[in-house]
Structure formats: C-alpha cells, structure tokens
Amino acid sequence: MGNYIKDRKVDEDDWMPFTGLEEDASLPSGNIYVPLDEWLKTRDHLLARNDRLGVALKNTDDPALLEKDLDRLDLIVLEFPKMADGRAFTQARILRERLGFKGEIRATGDVLQDQLFYMQRCGINAFEIRDDQDIPSSLKAFDEMTVTYQPASDEKFPIWRRES
C-alpha cells in the first residue's frame, strides 16, 4: 500500500480491507472495509460489529446501492484503475452531493498528483498515494489552483454567484 493523505495531511491508515466472509465466521476487530458485493451479501452480519465499517466500490458500482446505509458507514473506498477512467469522480460527487455522505471517501489505485485537486473538489478527502509519487509535491497539489469557477462538492455556487 502506498502513502496515505487524509484531509490534506499525511496520516496513518487504520483501516483494513477484508474479504471472504463466511456465514458463520467471526469478524476481525478493528476498522474494516469490504467490497460492495460482500456488503450486499452479509450486511446484517457486518452491521452487528462494534467497530467502524466501510465499503469499497469498483468504478462500475452504483453508489446509490448504499443509500439506506450511509449513516452507518464511516468509509467508502473508490477505485481509480487507470488515469483515463474518471467514473469514480462521478461516484464521489453522487455520494457527497446527492446522497449526503459525511464520512471519509478514499481514492485508491492510480491516484496521481495532478488529479488530487479535482478529486478533492468532487468530495474525496482521503488518498492512497502510490509509492512512486512524492508526498510533499502531492500535498502542494491541493493549493495549485486558487480560484474555481464551477460549483462542486467544495463550493456550491459558481464564481458569479459568490459574494466577494
């Protein structure tokens, strides 16, 4: 796993991915996240835990499948399989703006420095940075743009509707 940035700071990742839950298996302690298909199969069993819980979405998954459970989830992991595939940007905006998710939204996979600013604008607040990416440069990427024109998760009004 690469380096981890949360809320524009280097942080420790205290989440563990978990798969392969059997119906009678005991769950590990600590903060875990599971793939969406696992969540849909074993939701009630997972919700019986006392630790924090998250779900990982592939960029082809519909975030609306989590709508009724968003208040019980602390983390949603979004997959960026390659730089040219931006479907997870849309998932993040749906989660923040349409569904009102308040927890951590994490970008994983091909997370590149030049996309961090835009990912943040879509509502992503945590990033797994690849090992070949420079952390200090990645942190500077959040401040590369000082003015935004369009509305997004971080600014609900276009520039012409903002007060100066």
CATH code of the domain made up of 3-18+29-161: 3.20.20.70
Cα(63)–Cα(70) distance, integer angstroms: 10
Q: 């600590």: which residue's tokens?
A: 30
Q: What is the mean pLDDT of residues 140-160?
A: 72
Mean pLDDT estimate for the chain: 88
For 47-99, the pLDDT digits (tens) are 988 899 999 999 999 999 999 999 999 999 999 998 778 899 999 999 999 99
3-state helix vs strand vs coil in the chain, percent to 5: 30, 25, 45
More confident residue, 110 or 29: 110
Per-residue tokens: 85: 């595939």
pLDDT at 116 over 80: yes
pLDDT the model gives residue 1:
43
Cα(78)–Cα(57) distance, integer angstroms: 5
**What is the pTM (predicted TM-score) of this model?**
0.88
Enumerate the domain spans of the chain.
Answer: 3-18+29-161
CB 35, CB 21: distance < 8 Å: no
